[in-house]
Copies of this chain bind each other. A is one copy, B any other.
Amino acid sequence: MICFHNDYSEGCHERILLRLQETNLEQTPGYGEDAYCASAAKKIRELCGNENLAVHFLVGGTQANLTVIDAALRPHQGVICAVSGHIHVHETGAVEATGHKVLAVPSSDGKITADQVVHEVLLQRNSGAAEHMVQPKMVYISHPTELGTLYSLAELETLSAACKAYGLYLFLDGARLGYGLTAEGADVTLPDLARLCDVFYIGGTKMGALFGEAVVISNPAIDEDFRYLIKRHGGLMAKGRLLGLQFDSLLTDDLYFELGRHANTMAEQIRQTLRDLEIPLLVDTVSNQIFPILPDVVLAEVGESFTFTEQERCDSNHRAVRFCTSWATKQENVELLCSKLREIYEKFIETEK
């Protein structure tokens, strides 16, 4: 079986492993206070063009999400997110475990708009019973979203302005950030994120690291005592250098972006095949996730050689599924997938006639 079901099936990029080996017996201070973390943080500040950013390295995405939200909000405050948002659907209530409500708003493409945010805020403020409602204080978005879509710079500017106007924090989950930043036509950069978000993170786990997310905080209110919050949630790694070293490697010589581009190129080949075959997509994407809608019988046959994930049932004999490329996806496997898809789908069309 060849895996296209996620972007974390393999270990890590070889340069990381190499450095782990080279530095293995060095003695370093614990808990992220080592030179590797310092070096990686410095590189992030440089890439973001901002000397004053705080950088913290966490083990995984759910941990990053819950720690940031717990650090930012007072008890009665909640976080607005798309109904498909990872924190709303796929984190077993990790945000609620910190006592905060996720205020879900409708979305068909995984994104939310400034208008939705303003509407949600005014709904509470003008309700006549504001104190009986959770106070919206943060907006959580992901980029790319759960559906592989991207915010344009213009959209992000508008969203950020709305947040500032109403006193909300903007938090961007970048678990797949590298795929988003390097996607065809994407116009959002790291300095944009540092400028427009109060906090965001640069994903490592899905981008060629063994694990790790680099949380970047531009708003000092969120950074206050942040390390206490990490520890309180069990996220302060004894051997914190493992995180620093991985990000230091990924951010050296453009590797992080190279890995992003690779996955996007691989995805584009699959997308091209789907286009050629006139297979509809649940949602149009430019990054490493592709959501074709296919007949059950076709999926059954594809599923004999390739893994993918279920997205949703569309009608009684069609499902949308997700194919996912990654930093580690091999050209030969993409070709195998494309030719198999072509073969199976054309056979199917023939039969249907």
Question: How far, in Å, is A27 (CB) from chain B's closest CB?
Answer: 4
A160 to B129, alpha carbons, bound, how many Å?
A: 33
A90 touches B133 (CB 8 A): yes
Q: How far is the CA of A100 from the CA of B96 in the complex (A)?
A: 6
Query: Could you say which residues of chain B place their CB within 8 Å of the CB of A347?
Result: none
From A131, which residue of chain B is reached at the shortest CB distance? B227
A60 to B31, CA, bound (A): 12
Provide 26 A-B residue pairs closer than 8 Å at the C-beta atoms, listed in order of the A residue: A2-B27, A6-B238, A8-B30, A11-B242, A17-B24, A63-B234, A70-B75, A75-B93, A75-B229, A76-B93, A78-B96, A91-B132, A92-B133, A92-B134, A93-B99, A93-B101, A93-B134, A93-B232, A96-B99, A96-B100, A97-B99, A131-B225, A131-B228, A205-B238, A211-B238, A234-B234
- Chain copies in the assembled complex: 4
Contacts of A102 in B (CB 8 A): 101
A112 lies within 8 A of chain B by Cβ: no
Docked complex Cα distance between A273 and B233 (Å): 40
Smallest CB gap from A309: residue in B? B128
Q: Which residues of chain B are near A14, meaning CB under 8 Å?
A: 24
- Chain A interface residues toward B at CB < 8 A: 2-3, 6, 8-12, 14, 17, 20-21, 23-31, 59-67, 70-71, 74-76, 78, 89-94, 96-102, 104, 128-129, 131-135, 205-206, 210-211, 224-225, 227-239, 242, 309-310, 328
Can you name the residue of chain B whose Cβ is closest to the Cβ of A126?
B310
Contact yes or no, B10 A26, CB < 8 A? yes
Q: Which of B2, B60, B98, B237 contacts A211 (CB 8 A)?
A: B237
Q: How far apart are the CA atoms of A238 and B206 in the complex, in Å?
A: 9
A24 to chain B: which residues have CB within 8 Å? 10-12, 14, 17
Residues in chain B near residue A29, CB distance under 8 A: 9
Q: Contact check: which of B3, B211, B310 meets A239 at CB < 8 Å?
A: B211
Give the CA-CA distance A57 to B206 in the complex, in Å: 20
Report how far A220 CA is from B229 CA in the complex, Å. Answer: 24
| A235 and B10 contacting across the interface, CB-CB below 8 Å | no
Cross-chain contact B76 with A238 (CB below 8 angstroms): no
Q: A27-B3, A27-B9 are in contact. Are A97 and B233 (CB under 8 A)?
A: yes
What chain B residues lie within 8 Å of A94 (beta carbons)? 231-234
Q: Which 4 A-B pairs have the closest CB atoms?
A: A63-B234, A11-B24, A76-B228, A9-B27
Provide the residues of chain B in CB contact with A26, threshold 8 Å: 10-11
Give the residues in chain B near A23, CB-CB below 8 Å: 11
Contact of A135 among B21, B228, B233 (CB under 8 A): B228
Q: Which of A28, A30, A96, A129 has the most CB of B within 10 A?
A: A96
Q: How far is the CA of A76 from the CA of B62 in the complex (A)?
A: 14
Contact indicator B30/A239 (Cβ below 8 Å)? no
- Please state if B231 and A131 are interface contacts (CB–CB under 8 Å): yes
